[in-house]
C-alpha cells in the first residue's frame, strides 16, 4: 500500500513539473493539403537537378563561298540559352584526320545559323554544334566536312594554233589543298562554256567566228560546287581561215 502511494506521489510530482502544455490531444492533430501535420516543421521542397538540353540536329552547310562557310541546324527541342559552334581543320583529306577542336563562335537561342568568314582558299574543315542552357551543355551534333572554294587559277593563256578556233590553257592549282579541287570552268565573254576535271588544263574552243574578238576567264571549283574567283580576262581575235589562191 505504501509502495502504491509512493508511486502516485511521484507521478503527480512529474506532472506538476512538466505541466500539461507538453501534451497534445489526438483530435488536435490534423493533416494539411501537403500531407504534413499542422504545427509541425515544414518539409523542404524537393530538389530538382538541372538537366542538359537535347542536342541540336540536322547540321547542314547552307553555303560554300569564297573564303567563308555558312552552317545551319535545327534547334534543340529543350529550352536553351544559346549554341556553341566548334571547328577543326582537316589535315589529311584521304584519312579524314584533323587538328584539335576549338569553339569559334556562339549564337543566341533564336539563331540557328553561323557564318565562318575570313578562311583561306581551298581549306577543309569539320564543324559541330551543341546547345547550352546556362552552364549545362548538350552532346554535339554529327560532324560533317566542308570546304572553302579553291584558289583562283593562274597562268591563263589564249592563242590560236589553227584558224577558226581558240586554244585556252592555264596552270594547274597547287599547294596543300589541291586535293579539294574537283575541276575548272571556262568562261567566254562571261558565260560558262565548259567544265573539265582537275587534271585537265587545256581546251579548244571551236564555236567561234573568224574575225571576232572574245574574252576568256577560268575558275576552279570543288566537289561541293563552290567556285573560286575568275581569273583576269584575256582576249583574242580569231584568225580568219582563207584558202590560198590556186595557181596554174
**Which has more confidence, 103 or 67?**
103
Average pLDDT, the chain: 82
Q: Which has the minimum average pLDDT: 104-113, 179-188, 196-205? A: 179-188
pLDDT, mean of residues 50-79: 88
Among 153, 155, 163, 152, CA closest to 204: 163
Residue 129 has pLDDT above 80, yes or no: yes
Q: 31: pLDDT confidence band, cut at 50, 70 and 90?
A: very low
Q: 49: pLDDT confidence band, cut at 50, 70 and 90?
A: confident
Which DSSP string do the residues of the chain spell out, in sequence order? -HHHHHHHHHHHHHHHHH-STT---GGG--B-TTS-BTTSPPPPPPP----PPPPPEEEEEEEEETTEEEEEEEPPSS--SEEEEEEEEEEETTTTEE---EEEEEEETT--EEEEESPPTT-EEEEEEEEEETTEE-PPPPPEEEEPPPPPPEEEEEE-SSTT-EEEEEEPP-STTGGGEEEEEEEETTEEEEEEETT--EEEE----TT-EEEEEEEEEETT--B-PPPPPEEEEPPP--PPPP--
Q: Which has the minimum average pLDDT: 21-25, 99-103, 129-133, 183-187? A: 21-25
Residue 70 has pLDDT above 70, yes or no: yes
- The pLDDT value recorded for residue 244 is 47
Amino acid at each position: 500500500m505504501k509502495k502504491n502511494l509512493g508511486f502516485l506521489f511521484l507521478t503527480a510530482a512529474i506532472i506538476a513539473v512538466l505541466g500539461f502544455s507538453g501534451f497534445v490531444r489526438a483530435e488536435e492533430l490534423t493533416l494539411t493539403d501537403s500531407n504534413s501535420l499542422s504545427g509541425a516543421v515544414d518539409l523542404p521542397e524537393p530538389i530538382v537537378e538541372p538537366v542538359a538540353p537535347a542536342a541540336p540536329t540536322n547540321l547542314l552547310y547552307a553555303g560554300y563561298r569564297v573564303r567563308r562557310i555558312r552552317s545551319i541546324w535545327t534547334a534543340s527541342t529543350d529550352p536553351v540559352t544559346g549554341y556553341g559552334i566548334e571547328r577543326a581543320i582537316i589535315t589529311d583529306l584521304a584519312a579524314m584526320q584533323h587538328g584539335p577542336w576549338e569553339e569559334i563562335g556562339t549564337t543566341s537561342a533564336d539563331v540557328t545559323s553561323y557564318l565562318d568568314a575570313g578562311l583561306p582558299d581551298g581549306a577543309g574543315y569539320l564543324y559541330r554544334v551543341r546547345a547550352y542552357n546556362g552552364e549545362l551543355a548538350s552532346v554535339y551534333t554529327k560532324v560533317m566536312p566542308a570546304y572553302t572554294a579553291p584558289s583562283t587559277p593562274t597562268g591563263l593563256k589564249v592563242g590560236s594554233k589553227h584558224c577558226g578556233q581558240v586554244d585556252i590553257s592555264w596552270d594547274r592549282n597547287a599547294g596543300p589543298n589541291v586535293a579539294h579541287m574537283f575541276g575548272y570552268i571556262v568562261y567566254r565573254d562571261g558565260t560558262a562554256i565548259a567544265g573539265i576535271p582537275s587534271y585537265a588544263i587545256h581546251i579548244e574552243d571551236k564555236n567561234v567566228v573568224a574575225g571576232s574578238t572574245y574574252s576568256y576567264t577560268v575558275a576552279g571549283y570543288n566537289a561541293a560546287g563552290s567556285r573560286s574567283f575568275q581569273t583576269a580576262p584575256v582576249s583574242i581575235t580569231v584568225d580568219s581561215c582563207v584558202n590560198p589562191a590556186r595557181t596554174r
